[in-house]
Amino acid sequence: MSKHTRQHSERSQSVAKHARFGSFQIGLVRGLYVIQITMILLAVFVENVATGQTRQLVLTTFESEASGPDEDEKQRYPKLNEMQLPTVEEIFKKHPFDWVVTNNEDVHIVYPVSPRPDRSNKWEKDIRNLLENRPKGYPRRGLLEVVLHEDGILEDGNHEDSSYEIDKRRIQQIKYYEDLVLERVDKLLEKKAFRQAFALILFLERRRDSNWPGMDRRKNRLIFLDAMRMRDQKKPQSALVFFEDLYARDPEYRDSQDRTLQEEIGQVCDGLIRAALVQSDFRQARFFLRRLTDMDPQHQVAVKWKADLVARAKNLLTQSANASQDGKHDEAVSLLDRATRIWPTTPGLRDAHRKASNRFQRIKVGVLRFAGDPTPYFLPTDEDKRHNHLIQTTLFEIDRSDEAPHYRSRFFEEWEPTDLGRQMVFTLRQSRSYWESQPVVTASSIASTLAARLDPTHPAYDERMASYIHSLTPRSPFELVVNFSRVPVRTVALFRFPLIAVESELNSGETVDSNELKLASKVLSWRFKIHEKSPQRVVYRRIAPEPENVNEYHVAEVAKIKFNSYDKAIQGLNRGEVSMLPRVPIWTIDKFRNDERYVVRDYALPTTHVLQFNPNSEPLKNLVLRRAMAYALNRRQVLTEIILHDSESRRGRIVSAPFPSNSYAYADLSMVVPREHDLKLAYALAVVAEKQLKEKFRPLKLYCPPEPVVKAAAEKLIEQWKRIGVTVTLITQSAARPTRRSAMRPQWDLVYRTIQMAEPILELWPFLTIDTQAHVTSLIHLPDWLRQELVGLDQAGDWETAVSLLHRLHQQLAAYVHSIPLWEVDDVIVIRKTVRGFPKHPIHSYQDIERWIVQPEFPTVLPLGPKIRGKIGKKL
């Protein structure tokens, strides 16, 4: 081959390549490429002419006015009827191609020709302009330049001559690549190969050929057939999603078998609504109904079910009216609540619901567990404490707390210390407000309770109180005098206990636990009681209902609803299933604060997290090991990463005592500095402890409250202890729940506690001894000097002495590592704005609940998800 020929061949190949790639270019640059290609072709042509070595094929093609290949060549092209549609594999693997079918039904398999069908015809216009202003010698109009596809090159053909022009008059049709693919899609749909069909459609869409004629039709067919498949597979909800999608695309869709979309949607929705109603899940029924009406409000299925639901709701409305007339307000509200769940927009329902809900107010509270639910944790859980706060009221209760708590009483009108505090005269209230639910008591009841607490043989015996009170005298039914043998520092704080009935003696031989239970059953000062209990719901009601015909009613019922996790509880709050969450993870608080629907209230006392050691645990009797474990903890890390999710720790602090850092008992930093994390020191101490114990540390058992965040924190602490060679196992399941009295037995080594200590003068002793009261015998495990400090605190006669002793105890407990105070957290309660009368800084979750007012909250019409709403909105 001569040099020129070789050059020409190279140029031709280059041109072919350019032509091939040029057809793939996209966007605005596509036109420019076309111009460039044209220019290159022109340049080559001019060069060839100049050199007199014009290629025969090209000249023939140009000069014979696209007569095409000669007769011999005709034999070599496949006929249209011989052609096979490209397979899925070919489509994905090979370069795109078009079929150019000539009048004699020859098929030229070529790289996609240009221009392509385009609605805007922009390309064609560009080409037209270019050709009209073509330079001299440029091919005339009516020729289609093609580049043979690799599949189109014949066996005996010249590979170098793959680019040529065809006279348009000889072209019968061009089968574009997209059409070929869509034809394959049709074939696949017929075979119900939806996945492959969908893949091909997606393939075309990614080629930016989404507007290709016939594409929508295939898509719709695919969606319809897929929906039908879902329906046949008993997945009506999935089918409905597909139908909704199809409805948004083409509401009038009708398939080849004359099945209409309207009918199919109706059929699916009908099944879904019926199934929901069988399960009495009206909310879900309304949800499907709403989805149907959003598509077609007049759909006969929608009309039918709507009428049915309205009828049911109206029936309940009537029943509610009857119940209300009979004074059964709770029943009336229940019926109306049910009606609102069935069809909230029932005429007259909103008014009736408002009236009934005002008369019998209910509040729903989201909790993660109920009081008394089985757990290996042997101390009262937070929910146990909340349960007690809800059901009982004490003679004196904390009203508010700053540095020290301030008390009030529902039972006493006034209490006056006389004889320099050695005597206290209690004057009882002779009546109660209509909204209060505690019983009216007389001096003799209180005297009986006090006498029981002073009787060493009674299970309610209060050793501390017995040491304070010398005698008590009921002067009249509403006046009681208590004489003290020594003056208590916080007199009223001694009276933070519920009233109990003391008519019968306990049988000898009963265990302490059963006595405690018996004692609990004898409480007189109830305010709420459990009305109904199920695995998912506990309902509490007032002991004394509010009378008729008063201006304003208050909470009559508290329903606790159990959720599996905080996420679900928060979801429940957002959905309106509950109105209050007594505790939420700290990191979610900001979301609630920014939400106008909720009020977020800080508790008056922060929650302190503390680790306590079992005094009977042999390894933990070793002070060096306890110090090692304290130094090993990176408390700041756990606080910021696990508890708060906030590197700035805005709602939590590292502490060195089990009482709040703003308490009068908390010594300032000049006396006690929280122990810093020091892994090296911890390791060294652990080594020393191991030598002292003369054996390897056995795995220690840690019990922690059944609370997800606390559990996560405990797991992190265990991880940190592992670094110094101390293995700690978190006990999450236990066959036998150790009783509180058996807390001192060596079944456990560490316990994680969350406490709110309002009155350290009185509460520190029971806390340290893990007891309910300040029993002297519980101190037996403490060193003598610490015992005498606690006794000294108990015997303190004035406030200054008591506070100074507490500061010293704070210092001593921290140094002695009796426990490991971890951190304190500013917990909050989240409540809907519909609840009024809630304290600004509650001491506990149900403080003053008798005075809360719950405004009726009528269920809103179910909102649709953003997908459906968006599509429908867009369509409309």
Partner 1 sequence: MIGVRSAIPRKRVLQRRFGSKGLAVCLSAMLLAEVLLLNSQSTSAGEKSELDSKSTEVKIQKDEATVSTSSETSVKKPKRAEVPIELQPYRVQVSITFGSDPLLTMGYRESVLQKIRAAVERILGQMWTLKVEENLWLSPPGMRGLEQLTSESETERFGKASCDKVYIVTVEVLGGRYRISGREWDRSTQVLGRLATRETFQRRTVAADVFTLVHGLFQPIVAIDEADNDTATIRVQAGQFPSVDPDAAQLTTKQFFIPIFRYLDKKKVVRKIQFLPWTYLMVQSVDRARATCSVESGLRAPLGGARRRVEKIAIGIRPSYGATRLILVPRKNPSKPLISHHVNVVMNPPTSSKESIKKQLEIEALHLLTDRSGAVTIPVNFEYPLVKLYVHSGTSLLARVPFVSGVEPEIYLRLPSDSLRLGVEGQLALLEGELVDTVARRATHIALARLYARDGKWEQVDEQIDGFKKVHGIKYFEQQLKAIQFPAVQAAKLQKNRSAEFRIKRLIQRTTDVLGRHLSPDKIRDFENEMDELR
Nearest distance from C-beta of residue 453 to partner 1, angstroms: 10
Nearest distance from C-beta of residue 848 to partner 1, angstroms: 33
Structure tokens given for 32: 């420019």
Q: Nearest-CA neighbor of 642 among 782, 752, 555, 511?
A: 752
Task: Say how many CA atoms lie within 13 Å of 256 toward its Cβ.
Answer: 8
Q: Segment 684-713, which members bind partner 1 (CB under 8 A)?
A: 684-685, 688
Spatial contact of 598 and 831, defined as CB atoms under 8 Å apart: yes
Within 551-668, where are the H helices?
A: 566-575, 589-593, 623-632, 635-638
Three-class SS state of 336: helix
Nearest distance from C-beta of residue 830 to partner 1, angstroms: 42
Q: Nearest-CA neighbor of 130 among 33, 10, 239?
A: 33
- Does position 783 interact with partner 1 (CB under 8 A)? The reply is yes
- Does position 629 interact with partner 1 (CB under 8 A)? The reply is no
Enumerate residues 6+ apart whose C-beta is below 8 A from 140. none
Span of 169-177, 517-525, 557-565, 677-685 interacting with partner 1 by CB under 8 A: 677-685
Cα 560-732-709 angle, rounded to 5 deg: 60
Nearest distance from C-beta of residue 467 to partner 1, angstroms: 4
| Residue type for position 155 | E
Three-class SS state of 186: helix
Closer to partner 1 at the Cβ: 209 or 789? 789
Nearest distance from C-beta of residue 447 to partner 1, angstroms: 7
- Does position 418 interact with partner 1 (CB under 8 A)? The reply is no
Closer to partner 1 at the Cβ: 238 or 804? 804
The only residue of 261, 356, 441, 447 in contact with partner 1, by rule CB under 8 A: 447
Nearest distance from C-beta of residue 858 to partner 1, angstroms: 57
Q: Is 238 exposed, middle or buried (0-12, 13-18, 19+ CB in 10 A)?
A: middle
The only residue of 21, 63, 788, 799 in contact with partner 1, by rule CB under 8 A: 788
Local structure of residue 675 (DSSP, 8 states): P
Mark 801-820 with x for binding to partner 1 (rule: CB under 8 A) and - for no binding.
Answer: ----------xx--xxx---
Closer to partner 1 at the Cβ: 262 or 634? 634
Q: Nearest-CA neighbor of 430 among 362, 365, 478?
A: 478
- Does position 440 interact with partner 1 (CB under 8 A)? The reply is no
Span of 24-32, 75-83, 263-271, 778-786 interacting with partner 1 by CB under 8 A: 778-786
Mark 585-624 with x for binding to partner 1 (rule: CB under 8 A) and - for no binding.
Answer: --------------------------------------xx
What is the Cα–Cα distance from 117 to 172, expressed in whole angstroms?
16
Closer to partner 1 at the Cβ: 112 or 821? 821
Strands 700-703 and 750-755: parallel
Closer to partner 1 at the Cβ: 470 or 621? 470
The number of residues that bind partner 1 (CB under 8 A) is 41
Spatial contact of 261 and 253, defined as CB atoms under 8 Å apart: yes
- Does position 422 interact with partner 1 (CB under 8 A)? The reply is no
Q: Which long-range contacts (CB under 8 A, 24 or more apart) does 145-150 make?
A: 145/19, 146/100, 146/108, 146/110, 146/111, 146/113, 147/16, 147/19, 147/20, 147/110, 147/111, 148/108, 148/109, 148/110, 148/111, 149/95, 149/97, 149/109, 149/110, 149/111, 150/94, 150/95
Nearest distance from C-beta of residue 813 to partner 1, angstroms: 10
Closer to partner 1 at the Cβ: 30 or 818? 818
The only residue of 42, 791, 862, 872 in contact with partner 1, by rule CB under 8 A: 791
Closer to partner 1 at the Cβ: 62 or 683? 683
Q: Segment 494-523, which members bind partner 1 (CB under 8 A)?
A: none
The only residue of 776, 853, 862, 872 in contact with partner 1, by rule CB under 8 A: 776
Nearest distance from C-beta of residue 646 to partner 1, angstroms: 31
Cis peptide before 859 (omega within 30 of 0): no
The only residue of 521, 596, 784, 874 in contact with partner 1, by rule CB under 8 A: 784
Q: How many CB atoms lie within 10 A of CB 101?
A: 19
Phi, psi torsion values for 556, nearest 5 degrees = -110, -20
Local structure of residue 134 (DSSP, 8 states): P
11 pairs with which residues across the strands?
none
- Does position 772 interact with partner 1 (CB under 8 A)? The reply is no
Closer to partner 1 at the Cβ: 517 or 815? 815
Closer to partner 1 at the Cβ: 87 or 473? 473
Strands 700-703 and 607-613: unpaired
The only residue of 234, 680, 696, 840 in contact with partner 1, by rule CB under 8 A: 680
Place of tokens 């009081």: 371
Q: How many CB atoms lie within 10 A of CB 88?
A: 18
What is the Cα–Cα distance from 728 to 698, expressed in whole angstroms?
9
Nearest distance from C-beta of residue 795 to partner 1, angstroms: 8
Mark 817-836 with x for binding to partner 1 (rule: CB under 8 A) and - for no binding.
Answer: x-------------------
- Does position 463 interact with partner 1 (CB under 8 A)? The reply is yes
Nearest distance from C-beta of residue 468 to partner 1, angstroms: 9
Helix (H) or strand (E) holding 729: strand 728-731
Closer to partner 1 at the Cβ: 252 or 785? 785
Q: Is 433 exposed, middle or buried (0-12, 13-18, 19+ CB in 10 A)?
A: exposed
What is the Cα–Cα distance from 790 to 306, expressed in whole angstroms?
71
The only residue of 419, 780, 841, 869 in contact with partner 1, by rule CB under 8 A: 780
Mark 465-494 with x for binding to partner 1 (rule: CB under 8 A) and - for no binding.
Answer: -xx-xxxxx-----------x---------
List of residues contacting partner 1 (CB under 8 A)? 447, 451, 454, 463-464, 466-467, 469-473, 485, 623-624, 627, 680-681, 683-685, 688, 776-777, 779-780, 783-791, 795, 811-812, 815-817
